[in-house]
Amino acid sequence: MLHAHLLEQARAAGDGIVALRRAIHAEPELGLHTPKTRDKVRAALAQLPLEWREGPSTTGLVATLKVTAAAGDGPRRSVLLRGDMDALPMTEETGLDFSSTTPGAMHACGHDTHTAMLAGAAQVLWARRETLAGDVHFMFQPGEEGYHGARFMIDDGLLDPLPDAAFALHIMPNSPHGIIAGRAGALLASADQFDITVTGRGGHASMPHQTLDPVPVACEIVTALQAMVTRKFSVADPVVVTVAQISAGTAHNVIPDRATLRGTIRTLSPASRTRIGGEVERLATLIAAAHDMVATVTVTQGFPVTVCDPRAVDLGEAVAQDLFGAAAFHRLDHPIMGAEDFSYVLEKAPGAMFFLGVAHQGADWQACCGIHSTRMMVDEATLPLGTALLAGCAERFLAKGFA
């Protein structure tokens, strides 16, 4: 039977998975270059005869389990499993024995768990290599937190030749213990950054009529952006525009020459993503012009929409139910407006990302701190479940494809 004993093997590897997670958690690294984390992964898998590849742009790794004699009579396929490795620029407040020892850095998005679960999947699948019907690529990727690490690894040729399918897993600390969630189509949004500078003419704050005050104009732009989104974009194709930073002035009695706004744009379709940038620019520049000022707008593209292949989601649901029971998989009704650079991989190969609930058993999961919290906690008992799911998706796809 497909997946027989897989969960037991993942649980047997649990101590090693947890140990690797804690070691990575204690020494978080930021951005595209995470050499300590890379070295921990290489050491954890040193006993396996995997083929390793690295590129010039990042410290990312692709380890390949090559099957010399594929099991079964079907076509030989390949599958990619991905885990991200970088942390966030935050100060940890969990009080864990293995808390971050790196000032100003913390694994607050679970990438330490993703890497550890992926390494566990490599160990489990190596032990089951005689049953595999093709090759497995393990993508250990830095630079997910806004650095486009997946895109750099793709550009470096580390995914060539492209796999026939790709899967990834992301923990959710404020979701029920052990539940796997996913959806077909758009799972996560695109994420672009906008910067608006309103330039006026400063002066004494007691005599605003002698100046061109950019501050109220910037505030007008903030409120107008919200009205623009709700009146120009359908609720059936969601768009989020959030101004997250406002900067102006140096003293309480000085009107500044300029005010700056910075924020994020989230969309779920290429059409809305293309259109929204122009709408933001038109709104800001015309509002500024109405007050005899000038606004400059820059939109910097970030991650694209994370789109999951319906066949891959069906496969993940079947694997989760086989391994953990009929109630283990939850179909999300709506996309989440967060973003993920696994989207770059899914533009190249069909596949899916799933979420794993890691709230402690019996906890009020809705009250748990979410990702990007300085107090985010993980029930490490769930990590073998993630390892089993990743390994199961690889095994099932290699054996049956998306059938």
pLDDT band for 234, please (50, 70, 90 cuts).
Answer: very high
User: Residue 225 and residue 259: Cα distance in Å, rounded?
Assistant: 16
Please tell me the CATH superfamily of domain 6-188+305-400, with its number: Zn peptidases (3.40.630.10)
User: Residue 346 and residue 313: Cα distance in Å, rounded?
Assistant: 13
> How high is the pLDDT of residue 58?
98
Neighbours of 31 (CB within 10 A): 17
Distance of alpha carbon 42 from its chain centroid, rounded?
Answer: 23
**Are 286 and 213 contacting, i.e. CB atoms less than 8 angstroms apart?**
no
User: Residue 104 and residue 99: Cα distance in Å, rounded?
Assistant: 12
10 Å CB burial of residue 338 (0-12, 13-18, 19+) is: middle
> How high is the pLDDT of residue 365?
85
> How high is the pLDDT of residue 191?
96
**Are 24 and 107 contacting, i.e. CB atoms less than 8 angstroms apart?**
yes
> How high is the pLDDT of residue 278?
95
- Do 6-188+305-400 and 190-300 come out as alike in CATH topology? no
pLDDT band for 1, please (50, 70, 90 cuts).
Answer: low
User: Residue 7 and residue 310: Cα distance in Å, rounded?
Assistant: 25
* Tens digits of residue pLDDT in 350-400: 999 999 999 998 888 888 888 999 999 999 999 999 999 999 999 999 999
**Residues β-bridged to residue 193:** 264, 300
> How high is the pLDDT of residue 67?
86
Instruction: Show the CA angle centred on residue 35, arms to residues 383 and 380, nearest 5°.
Output: 15
> How high is the pLDDT of residue 363?
84
pTM score, two decimals? Answer: 0.94
**Domain residue limits, the chain:** 6-188+305-400, 190-300
SS3 content of the chain, % helix, strand, coil (to 5): 35, 25, 40
Only one residue has tokens 């479940």, namely 385
* Tens digits of residue pLDDT in 239-256: 999 999 999 999 999 999
Q: At what angle do helices 14-26 and 383-400 cross, to 10 degrees?
A: 110
Q: Which CATH class is domain 190-300?
A: alpha beta
Rounded mean pLDDT, 313-331: 97
pLDDT band for 69, please (50, 70, 90 cuts).
Answer: low
> How high is the pLDDT of residue 44?
97
User: Residue 156 and residue 164: Cα distance in Å, rounded?
Assistant: 19
Rounded mean pLDDT, 87-106: 96
Q: Among residues of the chain, what percentage have pLDDT more than 90?
A: 93
Q: Is the predicted pLDDT of residue 73 greater than 70, yes or no?
A: no
User: Residue 126 and residue 391: Cα distance in Å, rounded?
Assistant: 10
**Residues β-bridged to residue 140:** 61, 83
- Provide the mean pLDDT of the chain: 96
Neighbours of 105 (CB within 10 A): 19
* Tens digits of residue pLDDT in 327-337: 999 999 999 99
User: Residue 286 and residue 47: Cα distance in Å, rounded?
Assistant: 63
Nearest to 107 by CA among 88, 83, 82, 84: 88
> How high is the pLDDT of residue 3?
85
